[in-house]
Amino acid sequence: MNQPKHIARKRFGQNFLVDGAIIDNIVRAIAPQAGQPMVEIGPGLMALTKPLLERLGQLTVIELDRDLATRLRGRQGLNVVESDVLKVDFTALAHALGAPKLRVVGNLPYNISSPILFHLLDHVDAVQDQHFMLQKEVIDRMVAAPATSDYGRLSVMLQWRYAMENVLFVPPESFNPPPKVNSAVVRMLPRSAPAVLNRAVLEELVQVAFSQRRKILRNTLGRWLDEKSFSGAFDLQRRAEEVSGAEYQALAAALS
């Protein structure tokens, strides 16, 4: 019996990928191999799920929409986790699947893409790699170099733990309904030897630094460093976007 057509739900940020050529290119970029432990966030109508499952043999999917989760449960080889992705403990999930590390993929809902990326940062040690489709503007910020307008908090925080690259451009007409923005696919590889620091310190430091991008750091970060009784050397005669990620990490390490 044919199941009723699923209508995209705005509150879940649903835009379903329908372009076969783009789907093939994404699967090629992910390069799934039989037996690899992979988790897909937001499988939706299975545009990516089907080709991934064919190559892997089994796949874990995380789906919040109850109707979609019910449809997915009937598919052989799929392990369905019906949950808000922000509540999923990926480290525990890796243990449950008997895998040292997970490969994580997905077409992330654009309205909560940053919270998902920061949630996964908590579980980076349980991840082998990540491939996500996101708003192109967000990926531009993730991979941005210092001294560019896209460089900011997201760039510094994520580049601390991941090497990242924009691997594919995806136009709006590849989706139904088409979003009002361009999309892209990012590859995120956890760094084997990241700087050792207190993440909360780096987060606060970067937030303060970029709170007023146009101002010289002496007026923002300088005051914050005074409050922390920091006595080391740091050039505050620059704007936040002129400081490299490595310098922010070194400062956070000194404060940690």
Beta strands in the chain (DSSP E): 16-17, 38-41, 59-63, 78-82, 102-107, 127-135, 162-170, 175-176, 183-190
The Cα 154–Cα 30 span in angstroms is 23
Say how far apart CA 224 and CA 236 lie, in whole Å: 12
Annotated binding residue at 107?
Answer: yes
Of 173, 144, 148, residue with least CA distance to 159: 144
Tokens in use for 52? 């991934």
C-alpha span between 44 and 63 (Å, rounded):
7
- 166 appears as a binding residue in the annotation: no
197 labelled ligand-binding: no
40 labelled as ligand-binding? no
Q: What angle do CA 159, 164, 167 make, to 5 degrees?
A: 155
Number of Cβ atoms within 10 Å of the Cβ of 207: 13
Q: Is 111 annotated as a binding residue?
A: no
Whether the CB-CB separation of 13 and 70 falls below 8 Å is answered with no
Check the annotation: does 63 bind a ligand: yes
> Which residues define the annotated binding site for S-adenosyl-L-methionine?
15, 17, 42, 63, 84, 107
> Which residues define the annotated binding site?
15, 17, 42, 63, 84, 107
